[in-house]
Structure 1
Amino acid sequence: MEFQNKTMVVTGAAGIFGGWIARYFAERGARLCLSDVRMDALEKRAADLELDAATTLLHATELTDDSSMLALVGLVREAWGAPDILVNNAGIYTRFDLLDMAFEDWDRVMGINLRAPFVLSREMAKLMIAEKRAGSIINISSGAARKMNLGSVPYCLSKTALERLSKGFALELAHHGIRVNVVEPGFAPGSEVSALSEAYVANMLANIPLGRASGPQDAPSAIAYLCSDAAAFITGAVLSVDGGNSIGTYRRPEPAAAT
């Protein structure tokens, strides 16, 4: 129970990674504030995880609406004073050609993937500073931060900028004892928000050197490490937990022919 009585905010908590993160930390004693855009999805998540209603916060947050994000911050302040951990997990993956992409679609990608982590990191950090709490902020990025992908350039740009933003926060918050790091999870098929075709999933899996998709323990255990005392001297780091997918182009060798 290494996170016993630690308080933690997770955005995108109704999604696949958000659910894995919430389960991992709940099993280790953390008190959770789960945020997502739909309250019914959050209530289902809390029920599935059998979370204690007396110690669990739920907030339906629209990450493109400042007043909604500030309401989330206010909920945390009233309940806990400040969180010990913030995980900016929410994000959207879209496929648009730059020449065809509507301005409002661009704004939504950048708003959710970049501006929302900026706003929430800043406001939650202010709570940590006021409470003199040496907290930890984790931003969830992607190997796409380091490689442009045709058809998803805005997503790649948003993740590249998020990683640079994280390093900037790491510098500015270091003297407060607040550490800011990045985790790049591996590919996990099955997102309800960003539906993926069977062909796309098969192609992605074929390019992962360690031969499988990300599982329920992979990204959460990396996040837990970065939030733990074992990582007390780590800030501004980017940790890839993707089975080697972001190393470079890879094709699994064909089986040797029988002789």
Structure 2
Amino acid sequence: MVTGIVAGRLALVTGAGSGIGRAACQVLSREGATVIAADLNYDSAMETIKTIPLASGANAVGDHSAIELEVSQSASVQKALDTAMEHYKAPPTIIVNSAGIVRDNWLLKMSEEDFDKVVAVNLKGTFLVMQTFAKALTAASLPGSIINISSIVGKYGNMGQVNYVGSKAGVVGMSRVAALELGKSNIRVNAILPGFIDTPIIKSVPEKVMKEFLARIPLGRQADPVEVGELITYLASEKSSYVNGAVIDIAGGL
């Protein structure tokens, strides 16, 4: 018998090819969910699926799958829903919006193209996935949990990231509105603000800047992506059944 706090649930995770998205897939699976790993890079999404235990023994779960998804394109998001419905005969009741990119530069040097691309993926992409999959949940009269990944810099700001910070602050505001609107359909929406997590995005931060930030973190270290995956899974589960519209830091006290 499958056990775990999300046993028997179907989860869609965007940005699942690495970092927080991959860790979310691993923890959700460990806790009994069937996972759809979605990423712009299909091969990376498949690699994530390969890191999940096979459906046998104590970790037995449903058949996981990987899909290619460009979150900033509505047609791609709709195709992802259609594929999930065809394969699993129901929409996922856990949606994790983890897809995100950076295109850093100073405000006075930021190109319009780099600004638009980051906002398109991080903010618009979160909107499109929320809207598309929440419509499917309401049509099926199913409860759900949507977890949107923002960033601690969306709260405090960070030099050289005007586009990224703007997009992540927008995710927070959008999550709060979605929680108000979707709560009546028993769909909870919460946002997580990770700090310095050991992910590919963080590897782009200059060493000098990294040392300065680590010095400001009371716990004195980066987080393992799995630590974020644990929080995501808690918010996906009924253990957080009255948590809605929350914005939760996971930043070691930064």
TM-score normalised according to structure 2 size: 0.90
1:188 aligns with 2:197: yes
1:226 to 211, 226, 235: 235
CA distance in 2 between partners of 1:200 and 1:60 (Å)? 34
Distance 1:77 1:166, change over 3 A: same
Residue 207 of structure 2 is aligned to residue 198 of structure 1: yes
Note if contact 1:92-1:193 (Cα within 8 Å) is conserved in structure 2.
no
- Is the contact between residue 34 and residue 64 of structure 2 (CA under 8 Å) also seen in structure 1? yes
Change (3 A) 1:226 1:50: closer
Equivalence for 1:248: none
Secondary structure of the residue aligned to 2:107 is coil
1:16 matched to 2:32: no
Partner Cα separation in structure 1 for residue 86 and residue 130 of structure 2: 17
Where structure 1 has 5 or more consecutive residues not aligned to the other structure, the ranges are 246-259
Q: Does the Cα contact within 8 Å between 1:93 and 1:194 map onto a contact in 2? A: no
Q: Is the 8 A contact 2:190 2:244 kept in 1?
A: yes
1:212, distance to aligned residue in structure 2 (A): 1.6
Greater mean deviation of Cα atoms: 89-98 or 125-134: 89-98
Highest CA radius of gyration, 1 or 2? Answer: 1
Q: Which residue of 2 aligns with 1:56?
A: 64
Deviation at 1:16, TM superposition (A): 1.1
Q: Confirm or deny: 8 A CA contact 1:33 1:58 kept in the other structure.
A: yes
Distance 1:101 1:51, change over 3 A: farther
Give the equivalent residue in structure 2 for 1:39. Answer: 42
Which is further off, 75-84 or 177-186?
A: 75-84
* Contact kept in structure 1, 2:219 and 2:253, CA below 8 Å: yes
Q: Paired residue for 1:165?
A: 174
User: Given that residues 184 and 242 in structure 1 are in contact (C-alpha distance below 8 angstroms), is that contact kept between their aligned partners in structure 2?
Assistant: yes
Contact 1:92 1:194 in 2 (8 A): no
| Separation of aligned partners in 1, 2:101 and 2:54 | 26
Name the counterpart of 1:117. 126
User: Does structure 2 conserve the Cα–Cα contact (< 8 Å) formed by 1:189 and 1:201?
Assistant: no
1:218/1:11 CA distance change after superposition, 3 Å: same
Residue deviations 1:76-130, cap 9 Å, x none? Answer: 2222321110000111123122222222211111011100110110110011111
Which residue, 124, 132, 138 being the options, matches 2:147?
138
Checking the alignment, whether the CA contact within 8 Å between 2:118 and 2:167 is kept in structure 1 is yes
Which of 233, 242, 245 is matched with 2:251 structurally? 242
Task: Give the aligned partner of residue 154 of structure 1.
Answer: 163
The AA in structure 2 aligned to 1:77 is: M
Q: Aligned residues: percent identity?
A: 31
Partner residue in 2 for 1:255: none
In proportion to residue count, which structure has more helix? Answer: 2
- Is the 8 Å Cα contact of residues 73 and 120 (structure 1) preserved in structure 2? no
Structure number with the bigger relative contact order (C-alpha 8 A, sep ≥ 6) is 2
**Contact 1:167/1:237 (8 A) holds in 2:** yes
Q: Tell me if structure 2 keeps the 8 A contact 1:143–1:184.
A: yes
Change over 3 Å in CA distance of 1:48–1:221 after alignment to 2 = closer
For residues 247 and 126 of structure 2, the distance between their equivalents in structure 1, rounded to whole angstroms, comes to 16
8 A contact 1:36–1:61 mirrored in 2: yes
- 1:189–1:221 distance in 2 versus 1, CA, 3 Å: closer
RMSD: 1.8
Q: Which runs of 5+ in 2 are unaligned?
A: 56-60
- The alpha-carbon distance between structure 1 residues 236 and 35, as it changes in their structure 2 partners (threshold 3 A), is same
Q: Quick one: distance in 2 between partners of 1:64 and 1:4?
A: 30
Cα deviation for residue 51 of structure 1 reads 4.7
> Which of these residues, 15, 28, 31, is aligned with residue 28 of structure 1?
31
Contact 1:128–1:134 (8 Å) recurs in 2:
yes
TM-score by length of 1: 0.88
